[in-house]
Amino acid sequence: MRSVTTREVEWDEQQQATMLAYDLWEGHQCRQCGGDLTETTHVDNDPANMRGVGVYQAQPPAECYRCSALHKIQHDPMYAKDQRALIHRVKLVPRGTPSPFH
């Protein structure tokens, strides 16, 4: 009697290629802003380079209404329980839908 053991590889070729591509992509991202370093560090985008083609310019912040709703419920005195035990949820509902809280 003879037995043969066949083992599957941990990662197939597609998974390996995907992870290698992700690693390459991640290595080209700024650790602070997440921008692509080939663009964000290019001399053409240096504000001191008068021959450059562009400069980065800060934009006004945008309000995330979902975050605003979460912040409101997290600071509502009605829910002054131990915040570590609460799971706050937000749902997009049609305008005019009464709030279940007030």
Is pTM beyond 0.75? Reply is: no
Q: What would the pLDDT profile of 54-71 be if each residue is shown by its tens digit?
A: 888 888 888 999 999 888
Give the SS3 label for residue 29: strand
Rounded Cα gap, residues 12 and 14, in angstroms: 6
Rounded Cα gap, residues 74 and 37, in angstroms: 37
Collect all residues with Cβ–Cβ distance below 8 Å to 78 and sequence separation of at least 6.
101
pLDDT attached to residue 29: 95
Q: What would the pLDDT profile of 19-62 be if each residue is shown by its tens digit?
A: 999 999 999 999 998 999 999 999 999 999 999 888 888 888 88
Rounded Cα gap, residues 80 and 97, in angstroms: 25
Query: Where in the chain are the domains?
Result: 13-42
Rounded Cα gap, residues 71 and 49, in angstroms: 42
